[in-house]
Amino acid sequence: MQRVLVVGGAGALGSAVARRFASAGNWEVASLDRIASKVDVKVDLGAKSAMQTASWEERLRSAHDEIDQWAGGDGLQAVVHVAGGFAMGGFEDGVGPVESMWEMNVQSAFTAAALAATHLGSPGLLVLTGAQAARKAGGTGFAVGYGMSKAATHQLATDFANEYCAMSQRSCKCILPGTIDTPANREAMPDADHATWTSPDVIADRIFGWAQPSSFDASKPQDIQHDLFVEV
């Protein structure tokens, strides 16, 4: 039995990822989120009431302990980070949007990477969630905190890939979504062309494919320069 940890497993994309892995029948799924998963997962980390007021360090330490109890020496075969959020806010809108984006996007991404560094086996996959907007020339002046947080996530993916994937059967992917077709996005942008948005199930299918043993080639380490960032 293989094991995947979904960081942000209670959200729309996280639920799609958890369902995709669980439906395969040969994966045990754990969700790490502040609320309980909507999917019938094997382990639900972080949702218990004691963790709601814990510090980031305490939550991370607790996650390490719970993964040890669940996976033991076998470790994890995939860690998928799909937590995060979006907030508008420019340079004149104070630090609130920046602080919230840093907590939601960067802290969750680092948590996933830190857990992968300790528990990810070889072969093994780490997926982090970046953003197309943060890599485009036009910038994100309308949402500075969001752009900063996603740029930091892109750097985190690069650092993890260089440290853990260049000479091993581990792989790191940083997905770059456009707009994901979620209920929250539809409510926020009711007049947008939803037909151009990406279904969470489509993204979940791609992530599941990357996690399959056939995706890893022991004789060919990951080409970090060309296949780290993937638009979805």
The contacts of residue 211 (CB under 8 Å, 6+ apart) are 2, 4, 21, 77, 78, 125
Instruction: Kindly calculate the radius of gyration of the chain based on its CA atoms and give it in whole angstroms.
Output: 17
Instruction: Give the three-state DSSP class for 52.
Output: coil
Element (H, E) at 121: strand 120-129
Integer Cα distance of 92 and 34 in angstroms:
31
Integer Cα distance of 181 and 227 in angstroms:
25
**What φ, ψ does residue 194 adopt, rounded to 5°?**
-65, -20
Integer Cα distance of 183 and 229 in angstroms:
26
Which one is catalytic: 146, 160, 164, 229? 146
Among this protein's residues, is 146 annotated catalytic? yes
Answer positive or negative: Cα dihedral of 198, 202, 204, 209.
Answer: negative
CA atoms within 13 A on the CB side of 13: 27
Q: Give catalytic residue positions.
A: 146
